[in-house]
């Protein structure tokens, strides 16, 4: 059974701080890694994806991937109250279906 693990949170950070969200996965054959943001009652929205080891930056978001440690993270710089949401990590290997973690709830305190 392929698993994707995330701390459920809530992770509370003050406004302006860096939020660090972590995800581990069990399938060593995983190739693609996605971060989705989901506001309560809304659909997941893709915010970042990464395929290669290292860092990938997009605006205030940085995804970090370490395949040897089977670990992927999302950093949110200058966190804003509007970043308060649940963040879903999703992992896939080849053409098998995407496997989602249960999500980490982030709360940014103004």
User: Using alpha carbons only, how large is the chain's radius of gyration in Å?
Assistant: 13
- State the minimum distance, in angstroms, from the CB of residue 35 to other proteins: 10
* 60 contacts 76 by C-beta, under 8 angstroms: yes
Nearer to other proteins, 41 or 110 (CB): 41
- Residue 45: CB minimum distance to other proteins, A: 8
Q: x/- string (CB under 8 A) for other proteins, residues 49-88? A: x-x------------------------------------x
Check: CB of residue 79 under 8 Å from CB of residue 20: no
Residues 42, 59, 78, 80: which binds other proteins (CB under 8 A)?
42
- CA atoms lying within 13 Å on the CB side of residue 42: 12
For residue 61, give the 3-state DSSP assignment: strand
Which CB, 3 or 55, lies closer to other proteins? 3
């Amino acid at each position: 059974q392929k698993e994707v693990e995330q701390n459920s949170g809530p992770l509370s950070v003050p406004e302006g701080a860096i939020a660090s969200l972590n995800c581990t996965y069990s399938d060593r054959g995983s190739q693609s890694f996605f971060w989705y943001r989901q506001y309560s009652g809304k659909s997941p929205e893709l915010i970042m994806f990464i395929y290669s080891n290292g860092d990938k930056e997009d605006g205030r978001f940085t995804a970090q991937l370490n395949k040897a440690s089977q670990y992927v993270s999302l950093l949110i710089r200058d966190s804003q109250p509007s970043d308060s949401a649940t963040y879903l990590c999703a992992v896939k290997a080849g053409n098998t279906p995407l496997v989602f973690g249960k999500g980490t709830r982030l709360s940014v305190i103004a």
